[in-house]
Amino acid sequence: MLATLTVVLPVFALVLAGFLCRRLGVLGPNATTELNRFVVYLALPALLFDVMANTSWTALYQPGFAAAYGLGSLSVLAVTLALRWRSPRHLADASLDGLNAAYPNTGYMGFPLGLMAFGRDALPAITIAAILTVCGVFAVVIVLIEIGLQSERRVAPLVWKVIRSLAKNPLLVSPVLGALYAATGFAVPTGAETFLKLLGGAASPCALVGLGLFLAERRPSGEGGHTRSAVILTVFKLAVHPAVTWLLAAYVFRLPPMLTAIAVLMAALPTGTGPFMLAEFYGREAVVTAKTILFSTLGSVATLSALLMITGHGG
């Protein structure tokens, strides 16, 4: 548990920093929106481009692992979206709920925890999980949100409007450009790489501080429904997502024990900040998302520690 706590504590520290800055008046009421805009338009696109531009696809060719982890995430996303959409709930909000249940914090917690538990041999698999999460699952939800926000219902005009919106979204354009650059075979120039690393390195910390700022805003009482929804989504994230991934990895794709354990550990991570950034970016209700991130991060101290002990990597 101490190893898990060591990884989780910095996450809480950054959220707490944002919370205190807002409550003490150091940052004003517009800080959440402006900080999130910085992440969405600058920091996260730089990170996504850098990840894709420096990815060696031959080294990461593990189709079984990618299929087990990717299908596990998409299955949980689809089931959660269907359940929440029936509530009834707007497609954009239901899509965010699905992302809450299927978007693990692979970037900020996955790498240190995975390397601590499995060593350097786990790096390719962890990288695959991170790319599928921040580029694959993230992209699917952006498309669903764009579809939900369009008023046009005729198929051809709707598709065209969605394509135009997606073409202007920096969170989709940047990884595509990065992949195209990687296909050229050229290395990223040193100066550009330094720029991308500095800017991209700010994405997760700023998003976590922004989450703390959001949580610090005083709201009217009566948000019991939001809390219940967040608890349900937390259960999906910490229990259902890893369980589905385990079934796919162990019994469908029959991965080796170590790859199965890595896939399950990545799926068992708490909800990352991606859903919160999208909720703020599209102006959707973000209370459920913020609480899900907080609750799942708190709960993951116990669930991740138990999982590491069960798989024999808790030492």
pLDDT digits (tens, 9 = 90+) for 60-95: 789 999 999 999 999 999 999 999 887 678 899 999
Across residues 233-244, what is the average pLDDT? 97
Nearest to 127 by CA among 113, 111, 143: 111
Query: What is the distance between the alpha carbons of residues 264 and 150, in angstroms, rounded to a whole number?
Result: 36
Contact between 57 and 181 under an 8 Å Cβ cutoff? The reply is: no
The model's pTM = 0.82
- Structure confidence at residue 1 (pLDDT): 64
Q: Does 268 have pLDDT greater than 80?
A: yes
Which of 57-61, 187-191, 197-201, 248-252 is least confident?
57-61
| CATH code for the domain of 195 | 1.20.1530
279 is a domain residue: yes
**Domain extent at residue 202:** 2-20+40-213+223-310
Query: What is the distance between the alpha carbons of residues 215 and 231, in angstroms, rounded to a whole number?
Result: 16
Fill in the amino acid letter for 279.
Answer: A
197 is a domain residue: yes
Q: Which residue has the higher pLDDT, 70 or 7?
A: 70
- In this structure, is the dihedral angle defined by the CA atoms of residues 36, 295, 102 and 223, taken in order, positive or negative? negative
pLDDT in tens, 11-64: 888 889 999 999 999 998 889 889 988 988 898 889 889 888 887 777 678 999
Residue with structure tokens 């290395």?
A: 187
32 is a domain residue: no
Query: Mean pLDDT over all residues of the chain?
Result: 87
Contact between 22 and 260 under an 8 Å Cβ cutoff? The reply is: no
pLDDT over 90, % of the chain: 37
187 is a domain residue: yes
The burial class, CB within 10 Å (0-12 / 13-18 / 19+), for 283 is: exposed
277 is a domain residue: yes
What confidence tier does 229 reach under pLDDT thresholds 50, 70, 90?
Answer: very high
Which of 1-10, 211-220, 242-251 is least confident?
1-10
218 is a domain residue: no
Across residues 117-131, what is the average pLDDT? 86
Q: Does 131 have pLDDT greater than 90?
A: no
27 is a domain residue: no
Structural domain count of the chain = 1
173 is a domain residue: yes
